Structure 1
C-alpha cells in the first residue's frame, strides 16, 4: 500500500493472467475459467466453446483432465499465497474481485481526469469553509480506478472482515454434530482452509461489485483507504450523471464536495474511525449461524422415503424454491445499531454541510441530494452482497433523519456549537434521537444558555472525583478499623 494514498505509486500487483482474463471478456462469475459451473464437466455438461473430441457433444478425457489440472493450479496458487492465511483467503478474494472489473470501471484515469478532480476539490474547499468550522482535511487529490480502490482499501477491509469471518468460521464448526467434530481431528485445519477459500470467493464477488459502484474513497461513511487524499472515480461520472440528473461537471463537483467534507470530519475527529471499526468488532463477537430454515424444511424427511422415487421428487420440488442457506444472526445487535447510527450521523452531517456549501451556487442542489439519497439507499447491490457474506452492512439507514437533526441543530445553536458535538463520542446523538431530535437539541440549547459550560472539562472533573473516591476508600476503611480496635 502506498504511503501517499491513491494514485501515487506503481502498477497494481495482479498478474498478467488476470489482466488477460479481463481483456478477453472473461466471465465475471467464473474465477477459474470454467463457466458458471466449474464442476459441470464431471456430470456430462458441455463447457461453452468446446466441442469435445471427434466432434462429440461432451468434452473428451483430455479436456476434462486439462480443465481440472488448471483449476487445481489456480487453487494451489491461492492456497499457498501469504494472503491465504487466516479466516479469509484474500489472495483468492482479490483475484475474483479484479476479474469482475471490466468496461468503464477498468479504465485507467488520465492526467486530465486527475487535474479535473484537483480543480474541483480546490473549489469546493473554499465553499465548505463557509459551511463548517472544521478545517480542510485533504492533503491532495487524484482520480482513481476501481482496481486502485481495491488495492488501497484491502488493508482496512481485512481489519473489518477478519473478526466477522473468524467468528462465522467458528460457528460453522460448532454447527457440526459433536461426533463429526470429534472425528475431524487433524483435518480441522484443512476445514479452516476450506472455510477461508469459501469466504474468499464470496468476499471477492462482494468487493468486485463494490469496486464497480464506488465513486469516491469515503462513499460508505468510513475511510476505507488510510489516506488523506481526496479520490474520485471519474469512470463513474457518466453513469452517476444520469442517476443524479445533472451534467458531468456538476456531478464531479458534487462528489468532490462529499469527499472533501468526509475528510474534514475524519481528520479532525480523531476517535471516529476507530470507533466505527470497534463497533464492527463488537458486532462480530456475537455472530452465529441460524440453520432453522434447513431444519424446518427437512423435518418431515423419513429415511424410508429413499425407496420411494415419487415422494423424493415431491420433497425436492418443495425445497427447490426455498432459501435454506444459514442466516447470520448476532447476539450483540446493539453494536450493529450503534454502527448504523454512527454511519448515519456521518452521512447526514456530510449531506447537510455539502447542501449548505453548494446550495447558493448550484440551483439543482436539492434534487441532486434527493437523487443521491435514493442511490445510497437502494442502488448499491454490492453492499447487499457483502451483508449476505459476512453479516455487516455499511449502509447509513437513517442518514436523512440525521441530516434533518443537523439542520435543526444548526438553526438552533449555529455551526460552531453543532460541530463541537463531534468533540467526544458521548456527545453524539443516539439512535432514538434521530427519530425524535427535539430533546437532544433542547439539551444542547440548555448547555449553551449556561454560558460557561465546558463539556470536556466536566468529564475530566467527574473522572478526577471518581478516582479520588476510589483512592480514599482504602485508607478510610483502615482508620475505622484502627479506631474500633483501640476502643
Structure 2
C-alpha cells in the first residue's frame, strides 16, 4: 500500500510480477480460494456432489474430510499468517481475491502518463466553472489518473474502518446463531471457527471489492472519500465503457467525471464533520445487526451426532443440503442509522448533481443528458454494491439522490447559492429523510430563517437595549425624588 496518495509508489510497494508470484505461492490463483467451486459442501463429497466422484467411487470418509480441511487452511500461506488475516475479516485473502478479478488495464500498477495529464487539464478547467456554481472553494490539491489496482491500494484502510464494525457484529451473531448442542461440543475449536469465519468474510468481501475496483470511475463515486487525502482521481481506463453508457464522447465523459470529483472534494474538504458522520452512521447501524438463522436451524435438526461415526450417512445429509440456501439473513434493530446514512449519501450526491449541472450548463451542451444517464447508471448498474450488501448488510448507494437534487435545486431558486451552501455549516441544518419526499416545509423553514436574519437591525437593537437599561435606572431615581417631595411637604405642614 502506498502512503503517497494516488499515482505514486512507495519504495516498498510490490510490482505486478511480484504480486502474482506471491499469489501463486499460496497455491491458488483462481477466484475460488477454497478450491471447491461454487458448491459450499464440495469439501465433503467431491466434485460430483455426493455421487461418488468420477468412476462411481465412494465419497471421502471423515478422516479424508478433516485432512482436506487441514490442507485447505495450510494452503493459504501468507493469507493465514499475515497481520491482515487477524480479526473479523481476513483482509489478506480479501485483497488477493479482489486483485485476481482485475484484468487488462485495471490490473496495472499505473496508468499512462498522458492519462494523468488529461485528468489534470480537465480538473483545472472544471474548477473554474465550479467557482460560479458554489461558494465552497476548491478542495482538490492535485489530480491523477488511476487504475483499479491502485484504487484497492488507496481505499483498503478506509474500507477496514467501514467494514470492521459490521463484520465483528456479524461474526458474533454467527457464533450466537449456532445450535447450542454444536457450540458446546466445539470447545477449543472455536478459535479455528473464528479464523474460518474471517476467511469467509474475506472471500465474500474480496469478490465485492473486485467488482467495485473493476467498475469504479472516480475516487468519490459512492459519496464518501474512500481514499485518504484530497487528490482528484479518475479511472481513465473506464472512459470508453462509460462513454457508451452515458451516450457521450470520451472527452465529454472525462470532463463530467472531473466535475463530479472536484465538486465532491469541495464538500469533503470544507465540511469537516461530513465524512465522520457517514462513518459513525455505519458504526451505529452495525450495533444492531443480527442474523436470521432459521434456514440453518431447520437444516441442523437433521443432524445427528452419530453421523460423525458414519461418513456415509453424513455424506448423504450433506448431499441433501448442497442445493439449499442456508445463508442467514442480515437484519438490524438500528435501521434508523441506515436511513440516516442513505439520506446523507443522497444529500451529497444530489448536491453534486445540482452544482455540476449549474457549472457545466451551456459550456457542455450534453451535460444534461450525461447527468440523466449517470443517475440511471448510479441507481441500476452497481453489481459490486449489491455484493457488499450480501456480505455485510449495508450499501453506500444513494437511493434518494434524485429527490435530494430536486430539493437542492428548488432551494437554490428560493434562497440563492450562498444560503443553500450554508446549510452544510452544521449537521442539524441538513434536511432529513422526510424532507426529501416533501421538500416544501424544509424550504419554507430556510426562507423564514433568512427573513429573520434579513430583518435584524443591529444598531436599532443596541439603541433599544440602551433605552431599556436607562429606563431601569430612571425608575428608582424618580421614586426617591417622590419620597423626598413628600418629606418636604410634611415639614411644611408642621
Report if the CA contact (8 A) 1:22-1:101 is conserved: no
Report if the CA contact (8 A) 2:36-2:47 is conserved: no
**Distance in 2 separating the partners of 1:41 and 1:352:** 53
Equivalent residue, structure 2, for 1:469:
none
**Distance in 1 separating the partners of 2:70 and 2:291:** 34
Equivalent residue, structure 1, for 2:78:
77
**Distance in 2 separating the partners of 1:87 and 1:411:** 48
Q: Does residue 286 in structure 1 map to residue 288 in structure 2?
A: yes
SS in structure 1 opposite 2:198? helix
Map 1:59-458 to 2 at 5 A.
72-107=73-108, 108-295=110-297, 323-451=325-453
**Distance in 2 separating the partners of 1:89 and 1:14:** 22
In 2 relative to 1, CA 429–38 (structure 1 residues): closer, same or farther, beyond 3 Å? Answer: closer
Residues 300-342 of structure 1: CA deviation (Å, up to 9, x unaligned): x799xx9xxxxxx9x988x887644211000000000000000
Deviation (angstroms), 1:229: 0.3
Report if the CA contact (8 A) 1:383-1:394 is conserved: yes
Report if the CA contact (8 A) 1:92-1:197 is conserved: yes
Residues 59-81 of structure 1: CA deviation (Å, up to 9, x unaligned): xxxxxxxx999855542321110
Equivalent residue, structure 2, for 1:6:
6
RMSD across aligned positions (CA)? 3.4
Report if the CA contact (8 A) 1:27-1:33 is conserved: no
SS in structure 1 opposite 2:369? helix
Of 337-346 and 321-330, the range deviating more from structure 2 = 321-330
**Distance in 2 separating the partners of 1:188 and 1:44:** 26
Report if the CA contact (8 A) 1:138-1:230 is conserved: yes
Report if the CA contact (8 A) 1:87-1:165 is conserved: yes
Deviation (angstroms), 1:162: 0.3
Report if the CA contact (8 A) 2:94-2:203 is conserved: yes
**Distance in 1 separating the partners of 2:213 and 2:375:** 19
In 2 relative to 1, CA 15–241 (structure 1 residues): closer, same or farther, beyond 3 Å? Answer: closer
TM-score normalised to structure 2 length: 0.79
In 2 relative to 1, CA 281–139 (structure 1 residues): closer, same or farther, beyond 3 Å? Answer: same
Deviation (angstroms), 1:364: 1.2
**Distance in 1 separating the partners of 2:241 and 2:426:** 38
**Distance in 2 separating the partners of 1:27 and 1:93:** 13
Deviation (angstroms), 1:184: 2.9
**Distance in 1 separating the partners of 2:30 and 2:437:** 41
Equivalent residue, structure 2, for 1:61:
none
Deviation (angstroms), 1:178: 2.6
Report if the CA contact (8 A) 1:4-1:227 is conserved: no
In 2 relative to 1, CA 196–7 (structure 1 residues): closer, same or farther, beyond 3 Å? Answer: same
**Distance in 2 separating the partners of 1:154 and 1:41:** 31
Residues 227-285 of structure 1: CA deviation (Å, up to 9, x unaligned): 10000000100000000000000011111000000000000000000000000000000
Question: In the comparison of the two structures, how many residue pairs are matched?
Answer: 431
Report if the CA contact (8 A) 2:39-2:322 is conserved: no
In 2 relative to 1, CA 43–16 (structure 1 residues): closer, same or farther, beyond 3 Å? Answer: farther
Residues 70-113 of structure 1: CA deviation (Å, up to 9, x unaligned): 85554232111011111101010001101111124224311000
Report if the CA contact (8 A) 2:345-2:396 is conserved: yes
**Distance in 1 separating the partners of 2:389 and 2:84:** 22
Report if the CA contact (8 A) 1:32-1:38 is conserved: no
In 2 relative to 1, CA 391–453 (structure 1 residues): closer, same or farther, beyond 3 Å? Answer: farther
Report if the CA contact (8 A) 2:2-2:153 is conserved: no
Report if the CA contact (8 A) 2:40-2:322 is conserved: no
TM-score normalised to structure 1 length: 0.80
Report if the CA contact (8 A) 2:170-2:290 is conserved: yes
In 2 relative to 1, CA 131–334 (structure 1 residues): closer, same or farther, beyond 3 Å? Answer: same
Of 369-378 and 432-441, the range deviating more from structure 2 = 369-378
Of 361-370 and 204-213, the range deviating more from structure 2 = 361-370
In 2 relative to 1, CA 27–19 (structure 1 residues): closer, same or farther, beyond 3 Å? Answer: closer
**Distance in 1 separating the partners of 2:71 and 2:185:** 32
Equivalent residue, structure 1, for 2:477:
none
Report if the CA contact (8 A) 1:14-1:95 is conserved: no
Equivalent residue, structure 1, for 2:463:
none
Report if the CA contact (8 A) 1:89-1:196 is conserved: yes
